[in-house]
Amino acid sequence: MASGRPTPVDPAVLGAVAAGGVVGSLGRWAVGLSLPHDAGAFPWATFVVNVSGALAMGLLVAFLVGRPGTHRLARPFVGVGVLGGWTTFSALAVEAVTLAEGEHVQTAVAYVAATFLVGTLAVGAGLAAGRRVWVP
């Protein structure tokens, strides 16, 4: 049962998450600059970062499970920080609503469906690949 007291924050974990977030966010920003899209067009930049982030999360989980004793800051840095900064559900949601409001409903539906379908397949592919590489 929870004591009702806040959990103390480990400064090393906080630093790892923050540093990873900087890396992931700057990477996402760079992809957005390199893959701009016009209003009403499929938002490829967000799709690419979300699907690649899903693949990377699958690989990370397989790595962490397959390698007990991994540095304690690996998951906070990569999983929460880098991949949290890299992927973006909020941008997906805003882009989908903007597409629908701009009378591009079919593109909005295709974008959301493709992101969730391909993202889910990417996590599975990452897990499978990671298990082949890191799990004995």
Average pLDDT of the segment spanning 92-111: 96
pTM assigned to the model: 0.89
DSSP state of 10: P
- Separation of alpha carbons 125 and 122, rounded Å: 5
User: Cα-flanking dihedrals φ and ψ of residue 46, to 5°?
Assistant: -65, -40
How far is C-alpha 135 from the geometric centre of its chain's CA atoms? 23
Percent of the chain surpassing pLDDT 70: 98
Q: Is residue 2 predicted with pLDDT exceeding 70? A: no
Q: Is residue 3 predicted with pLDDT exceeding 80? A: no
Asked if residue 54 lies in contact with residue 119, where contact means CB atoms within 8 angstroms, the answer is yes
Q: Is residue 96 predicted with pLDDT exceeding 70? A: yes
Q: Look over the chain and give the mean of its residue pLDDT values, rounded to a whole number.
A: 94
Q: Is residue 1 predicted with pLDDT exceeding 60? A: no
Give 47-92 pLDDT, tens digit per residue.
999 999 999 999 999 999 888 889 999 999 999 999 999 999 999 9
For residues 66 and 18, the model is more confident at: 18
Find, among 85, 82, 86, 93, the residue nearest to 116 by Cα: 93
Dihedral angle sign, alpha carbons of residues 7, 85, 55, 77: negative
Query: Residues near 104 by Cβ (< 8 Å), separated by ≥ 6?
Result: 40
Q: What is the pLDDT of residue 67?
A: 85
Find, among 74, 44, 43, the residue nearest to 59 by Cα: 74
Give 114-125 pLDDT, tens digit per residue.
999 999 999 999
Query: Residues near 82 by Cβ (< 8 Å), separated by ≥ 6?
Result: 20, 21, 23, 24, 27
User: Cα-flanking dihedrals φ and ψ of residue 87, to 5°?
Assistant: -85, 160
pLDDT category, 132, cuts 50, 70, 90? very high
